Amino acid sequence: MKRLHLFEFEDFPWFPAVIRDSATDYLRFMIEKLRFYDSAVPYIKKVLQKTGLSSVLDLCSGGGGGMLDVYNELNKQSAQNITITLSDKYPNIPAFEEINRITNGGIKYINTSVDALDVPANIKGVRTMFSAFHHFTPEQAELILKNAVDNNAPVAFFDGAGNKFIIALSIALVHPFIFFFATPFIKPFRFSRLFFTYIIPLIPVTTIWDGIASAFRFYSEPEIRSLVKNFPAYTWETGITKGKLTVRMRYIIGHKK
């Protein structure tokens, strides 16, 4: 099925930070509990080894979901010390600070806005992106790749894959219950999170809608290949990897030939 670029609330600059941050906190909670990104580690490791780099710049980090597991696994499997820097157009600073504290500075963060379409050339490292590539139109996605290629920055992007209707339906049916039962256990604790979940349910409603919209935004393999073919100076590899609980991710890795 051809992708549909439905709107997502979190993409709008006017969307309240208290709701956006709570949404990314929820996604981080789910990603960490299910260890969504474990199967991405070998691909990132492969790019690090191919390029000789030891640093990762994560774009569109949201609440930093899964990056603690990625960081620990990369350092467990690598001979050299690997650092990760979190960034986002709308950085969730409290979440970033907590991850930085837990890792004793091993995972750093940029506290100002970083646009994935125009990443400053002075920020080095393998550029990763998790569960975010679908946020961008094909024209924007091409600009993201162009910016990386122009700056000789390797990329390792991971996003959703699978039957769009089944994914959207499962989000609509399952996540309302998860929100209801899991919200008190999501950190950092905020009274605003409780209020906008149980009293005025803006957090679950907007987050679930964004999840459904995301499912229909996922890029297919032919669509990905049509993007990367415009950059022949890079060696590209695309495909699908499986994580735990049959979580499937579409990956794009690329580096200079």
Residue 46, amino acid: K
- Co-location of 92 and 117 in the same domain: yes
* Max Cα–Cα distance, the chain, nearest Å: 55
At residue 17, the pLDDT reads 93
pLDDT along the chain (257 residues), means of 10: 89 94 92 88 95 97 92 90 96 94 95 97 96 96 98 97 91 96 92 97 97 95 96 96 72 96
- Co-location of 70 and 145 in the same domain: yes
- Co-location of 234 and 114 in the same domain: yes
- Co-location of 225 and 99 in the same domain: yes
Contacts within 8 Å (CB) and 24+ apart, 114-119: 114/59, 114/87, 114/88, 114/89, 115/89, 116/59, 116/60, 116/89, 116/144, 116/147, 117/143, 117/144, 117/147, 118/143, 118/147, 119/57, 119/59, 119/147, 119/148, 119/151, 119/153
Given its phi and psi angles, is residue 243 left (phi above 0), alpha (psi -120 to 50 degrees) or beta? Answer: beta
- Co-location of 111 and 235 in the same domain: yes
- Co-location of 213 and 228 in the same domain: no
At residue 245, the pLDDT reads 58
At residue 244, the pLDDT reads 61
According to DSSP, residue 199 is labeled: I
CATH of the domain at 146: 3.40.50.150
Question: What is the Cα–Cα distance from 246 to 183, expressed in whole angstroms?
Answer: 24
- Co-location of 122 and 132 in the same domain: yes
- Co-location of 201 and 109 in the same domain: no
- Co-location of 248 and 131 in the same domain: yes
Residue 240: Cβ within 10 Å count: 12
At residue 182, the pLDDT reads 96
Strand partners, 127: 57, 155
- Co-location of 46 and 153 in the same domain: yes
Give the domain range for residue 85: 36-162+219-256
- Co-location of 121 and 92 in the same domain: yes
Query: Domain count of the chain?
Result: 2
- Co-location of 224 and 108 in the same domain: yes
- Does the model's pTM come out above 0.85? yes
